[in-house]
A and B are shown apart, each in its own frame.
Chain A
Amino acid sequence: MSPWLFYLFAAVAVTGGLLMITRRNPLTSAFCLVLSFLGLAALYAMLAAQLVFIIQILVYAGAIMVLIIFVIMLLHLTDKELEENRVDWKLTVPALVAGAVAVFALVNAFADRERFFGRVPEDFGNIAPVGEILFTKYVFAFEIISVLLLAALIGVVILARRRT
C-alpha cells in the first residue's frame, strides 16, 4: 500500500468534504461531495474492497448524487434565497471538540496491538465471497432492506406528489 497514494486520496476526500460544507451554492457543494466520494472509492480499492469500491462509484457517486443534483436543479434556488443560508460559525466549536474526542478514542481503542495490515486471500472483497456472506449470514437483513426500499419508494411517491 503506497503511502503517497493514501495521502493523495485522503487529501481529495477531505478537500471535497471541506469544500462541500463551505460553498454557498448547493450545486457546487454536490459536485465537491462527488469528488470526496471518488477519493473514498479509491481508498476502498486500496483496502482490497472491490465490491464496495464499485458500489461506491455506481450507487453513491452515481445514483444518490444524481438524485441530489436533480432535486437541487429542480428547486432552482434564487440568489436571495441562497443569501439567507448563512453559516453559523459558533457551532463549529462543539463539532471540532467532538471530532477531537473521536480521533482520540479511535486511535486509543486498539492501543496495545500492532495496527498494520496483514496479508489477505487473493479473492478478499470480491463479489463472490461477499455475496456468499450476504446471502447466508446476513440474509435476513438483506430481505429486510428490500422491504425498506419498497417502503421508501412508496413513501417518497406519496410525499412528493402534488396534492390537487
Chain B
Amino acid sequence: MGTTTVMIIGLDHFLVLSAVLFTIGVTGVLTRRNILITLMSIELMLNAVNLTFVAFARYFGVMDAHAVVFLVIAVAAAEAAVGLGIVVSVFRNKSTVNTDELTLLRD
C-alpha cells in the first residue's frame, strides 16, 4: 500500500477506472431522458468493458481478448446504427426524443 500502489500501475487501476466509466454510463442511462444521450451512455459502457478486456489481455499475456474487443466494436457499430435509425424513425412520427413521452406500447 501507499506510494508503491499509486506509482506502479497494475491491473487494479484499470479495473477501477473501467468500473468508474461503466458507472458513469449507467448513471447516464438512468438519469437522462434524452434518448440520444442514453445511446451515447451505452457506448461509454461498452468502452468500459473493452478496457477491462484489454487490461486482462495485457495481464495474462494472451491476445484472445483483442479479437473479442474487435467483435464488440463491430456489434457496437451495428447497435449504434440501428439505435439511431429507430431514433430518426420515432422523431419523424412523434417529434420527440424524450424517453418519458415514448409510451407507444403502453397506450
User: What residues of chain A have their CB less than 8 Å away from a CB belonging to chain B?
Assistant: 1, 3, 6, 10, 13-14, 17-18, 20-21, 26, 29-30, 33, 36-37, 40, 43-44, 47-49, 51-52, 55-56, 59-60, 63-64, 67-68, 71-72, 74-75, 77, 81-82, 84-89, 91-92, 94-96, 98-99, 102-103, 106-107, 110, 115-118, 120-121, 124-125, 129-130, 133-134, 137-138, 141-142, 145, 148-149, 151-153, 155-156, 159-160, 162
Q: Are A91 and B78 neighbours in the complex by a CB distance under 8 Å?
A: no
| Shortest Cβ distance from B30 into A: residue | A91
With contacts A107-B15, A115-B10 taken as known, whether A21 is within 8 angstroms of B31 at the C-beta atoms is: yes
- What residues on A are CB-neighbors of B32 within 8 Å? 21, 85, 87-88
| Shortest Cβ distance from B11 into A: residue | A115
Nearest CB of B to A136, in Å:
10
Q: Are B76 and A64 neighbours in the complex by a CB distance under 8 Å?
A: yes
Nearest CB of B to A97, in Å:
10
Q: Are A33 and B40 neighbours in the complex by a CB distance under 8 Å?
A: yes
